[in-house]
Amino acid sequence: MTISIAALALTLHDIGAIQFGRFRLHSGRESRIYFDLRVLVSFPDALRRATAAYRSVLDGLAFDVLAATPLAGLPIGTALCLDMDRPLIYPRKTAKSYGTGKNIEGRWAIGQTAVVIDDLITSGDSLLETFATVKAAGLKVSEAVVLIDREQGGRAMLAEQGYHVHAVATLSELLGILQENGRLSQSQLDEVLSSLNLR
């Protein structure tokens, strides 16, 4: 466990990006933990810390353009674009019905390699959609980087499809850090893990 991940975990907890309670996930499942990483945009220092964490992974990958998922990946992708001085593109939720009618915003060349940026991975469905859209635009793409892997099978599902997802941290790692630092009791930890079938 690196100090940077520990510091990031505590920062995310401090700004309310990690919440405990009862939450209904996009999949319909109930969870005792919720990650609201969209709040990063309201905390510049936390966003800088998250950007550095992504960059620690991205610096080891070969790519031409960053491809941010709509909408959660876009603020992070923008921060990375500026920090790394690398081009950014992003698929639209729906294609424009006017103007150019584009599915993807930004500039790229057919045959370039993209790496997908998202905030986290749960089931992997939204990343799979982004991979498909980026490929359809003539780009090569096989990798994605997320801040958090919720360990709900998404990475394994995408690996079966030929995609590799790099995560800065896993849910288990973050929970361990929060518990070690007195932010989470053993009973809360047990509840979270049980709700996600991780224990």
Q: What's the confidence (pLDDT) of residue 195? A: 83
- Location of structure tokens 């876009």: 74
Domain segments of the chain as ranges: 3-195
Q: What percent of the chain has pLDDT over 90?
A: 79
CA distance 65 to 88: 6
Round the average pLDDT of the chain to a whole number and report it. Answer: 92
pLDDT digits (tens, 9 = 90+) for 31-75: 899 999 999 999 999 999 999 999 999 999 999 999 999 889 999
Q: Using an 8 Å Cβ cutoff, are 177 and 9 in contact?
A: yes
Architecture (CATH level 2) of domain 3-195 = 3-Layer(aba) Sandwich (3.40)
The type of residue at 182 is G
pLDDT digits (tens, 9 = 90+) for 123-179: 999 999 999 999 999 999 999 999 999 999 999 999 999 999 999 999 999 999 999
Which residues on neighbouring strands pair with residue 67, listed in sequence order?
89, 116
pLDDT-derived band at 3 (thresholds 50, 70, 90) equals: low
Q: What's the confidence (pLDDT) of residue 19? A: 95
Q: What's the confidence (pLDDT) of residue 92? A: 86
Give the helix ranges, DSSP H, for the chain. Answer: 3-14, 44-58, 73-84, 125-136, 154-160, 171-180, 186-195
